[in-house]
Chain A
């Protein structure tokens, strides 16, 4: 339809638009730098290396990490999670996760299970401390890893990461956090939260382009995690064996340096905004929750308050499937994501499996008018749904 303004409410999949500085940094890198970092020692290669280094430094600052070389880049959060899950579990090991996970956690875990790893899924409890207690009770002699998402990409609820981190540290179990949904919009301090390994997406709340993501790996952990890929790193070139030091151990092959240029600008943007992003997203979530709550026929799934959550909201309209809702919204220019959001486990927990939900995920650049337009569209669709 022409003349309808596009309102992008799918920031949980990937954020868009990006800050201007991100577009500029990527264009600039392609035109003026372009070289492969760390391979050749010439001026442009060093300049490209600086782009990657600066990105590590910005991320280290964001996550409270002293040593920027503990930040490793991957293609996305999925690859980051695979590095750790596939790289550290052996048959006979036990791993604990929650009933709120994305398939980028569940599928590598289920594959490990088929190879002889024991997996415990702690049921998700709306009261976070209960869930941390469940994690603690599940720990046994052979428990090697606890994996939890920081926030659900379906219902937006935060999980009790700090509590679980304390338990994991006390019991000597490695703690991996999937921060795909929270990096950039929630404060994360890996020291204070006792996080051993943090996986993040670069292309969501950090405002980088698609094809960026990574890991923070605590000092010493690398001896326990095999790399997914082996290959050229630009370092120790005389050796036919993979280097053991970070970040090179996990960064074989020419990286996505143009993507990192964008990610660096995105993370710097996040650092400049300080807490403003979280405050704004909380306002947006509150406005959506309040608006949706007043529409007859609309059911919001998961937590109803703007506290303890991110701006990711799942709902259904009685009598309509999530795809009908999403198609109806698109007629009003509103882009959202219907279905299961790669998270069958979370939908089972919420009782929305297999039909799924419609998910609205505003971002820092979403305006109050955008939210009002979305709510108005939902009102019309719900009224039509109830009438027809």
Chain B
């Protein structure tokens, strides 16, 4: 199986997803809002995709800004 190259952050609401998107735009970490992939389930229809190698920084920033998330998954 091919190794995942992206991860996604799942959120409770679109407001949280957009909050996170805005934060990451300020940090230069490339992110993109995408519809939640079929194999995952989330409260909110969109999620934030990031490049897999950025995962530690992504987690760290979400943590520091205390943005509630539903989870982080490779895709």
Task: State the A residues within 8 Å of B (CB).
Answer: 37-42, 46, 49-50, 52-53, 56-57, 66-69, 233-238, 243, 245-248
Q: Which 5 A-B pairs have the closest CB atoms?
A: A38-B14, A41-B35, A53-B18, A236-B43, A69-B15
Q: Report the nearest B residue to A71, measured CB to CB.
A: B15
- Does B45 contact A234, Cβ atoms closer than 8 Å? yes
Which listed residue, B14, B16, B17, B41, touches A238 by the CB 8 Å rule?
B41
Q: A interface, by DSSP: helix, strand, loop or mixed?
A: loop
- Does B45 contact A247, Cβ atoms closer than 8 Å? no
Number of A-B residue pairs having CB atoms within 8 Å of each other in the complex: 69
B44 within 8 A of A: yes
A66 vs B19: C-alpha distance in the bound complex, in angstroms?
A: 12
- Does A39 contact B45, Cβ atoms closer than 8 Å? yes
- Does A53 contact B19, Cβ atoms closer than 8 Å? yes
- Does B35 contact A243, Cβ atoms closer than 8 Å? no
Q: How far is the CB of A47 from chain B (nearest CB, A)?
A: 10
A236 vs B43: C-alpha distance in the bound complex, in angstroms?
A: 4
Question: Known: A50-B18, A53-B18, A53-B19. Is A248-B45 also a contact (CB below 8 A)?
Answer: no
Which listed residue, B18, B34, B36, touches A49 by the CB 8 Å rule?
B18
**Chain B interface extent, by class:** 20 to 34
Question: Known: A53-B18, A69-B19. Is A245-B12 also a contact (CB below 8 A)?
Answer: yes
Contact partners of B5 in chain A: CB under 8 A:
none
Contact partners of B43 in chain A: CB under 8 A:
235-236, 243, 245
- Does B13 contact A46, Cβ atoms closer than 8 Å? no
A39 vs B16: C-alpha distance in the bound complex, in angstroms?
A: 14
Q: B interface, by DSSP: helix, strand, loop or mixed?
A: mixed
Contact partners of A37 in chain B: CB under 8 A:
14
Q: Report the nearest B residue to A41, measured CB to CB.
A: B35
Q: Report the nearest B residue to A52, measured CB to CB.
A: B15
User: Counting chain A CB atoms within 10 Å of each CB, which of B18, B19, B43, B66 scores highest?
Assistant: B18
Contact partners of A247 in chain B: CB under 8 A:
13, 15
12 A-B pairs within 8 Å (CB atoms) are namely A37-B14, A41-B35, A49-B17, A49-B46, A50-B18, A53-B14, A53-B22, A57-B19, A234-B14, A243-B43, A245-B12, A246-B13
Q: Report the nearest A residue to B35, measured CB to CB.
A: A41
Contact partners of B13 in chain A: CB under 8 A:
38, 69, 233, 235, 243, 245-248
- Does A38 contact B19, Cβ atoms closer than 8 Å? no
- Does A237 contact B15, Cβ atoms closer than 8 Å? no
A234 vs B41: C-alpha distance in the bound complex, in angstroms?
A: 14
- Does B46 contact A69, Cβ atoms closer than 8 Å? no
A243 vs B36: C-alpha distance in the bound complex, in angstroms?
A: 18
Question: Known: A41-B35, A238-B41. Is A53-B46 also a contact (CB below 8 A)?
Answer: no
Contact partners of B18 in chain A: CB under 8 A:
46, 49-50, 53
Contact partners of B34 in chain A: CB under 8 A:
41
Q: How far is the CB of B16 from chain A (nearest CB, A)?
A: 6
Q: Report the nearest B residue to A46, measured CB to CB.
A: B33
Q: How far is the CB of B2 from chain A (nearest CB, A)?
A: 24
Q: How far is the CB of A242 from chain B (nearest CB, A)?
A: 12
Q: Report the nearest A residue to B14, measured CB to CB.
A: A38
The residues in B between 9 and 68 inclusive whose CB is less than 8 angstroms from any CB of A are: 12-19, 22, 33-36, 41, 43-46, 66, 68
Q: How far is the CB of A65 from chain B (nearest CB, A)?
A: 12
- Does B41 contact A67, Cβ atoms closer than 8 Å? no
Q: Report the nearest A residue to B41, measured CB to CB.
A: A238
Contact partners of B19 in chain A: CB under 8 A:
53, 57, 68-69
Contact partners of A246 in chain B: CB under 8 A:
13, 15
- 15 further A-B pairs in the complex, CB-CB below 8 A; given A38-B45, A49-B14, A245-B13: A38-B14, A38-B44, A38-B46, A40-B45, A41-B35, A49-B18, A49-B46, A53-B22, A66-B66, A67-B66, A234-B44, A235-B12, A236-B43, A238-B41, A243-B43
- Does B12 contact A46, Cβ atoms closer than 8 Å? no
User: Counting chain A CB atoms within 10 Å of each CB, which of B22, B34, B35, B45 scores highest?
Assistant: B45
Which listed residue, A52, A67, A235, A245, touches B45 by the CB 8 Å rule?
A235
Contact partners of A245 in chain B: CB under 8 A:
12-13, 43, 68
Q: Report the nearest A residue to B11, measured CB to CB.
A: A235
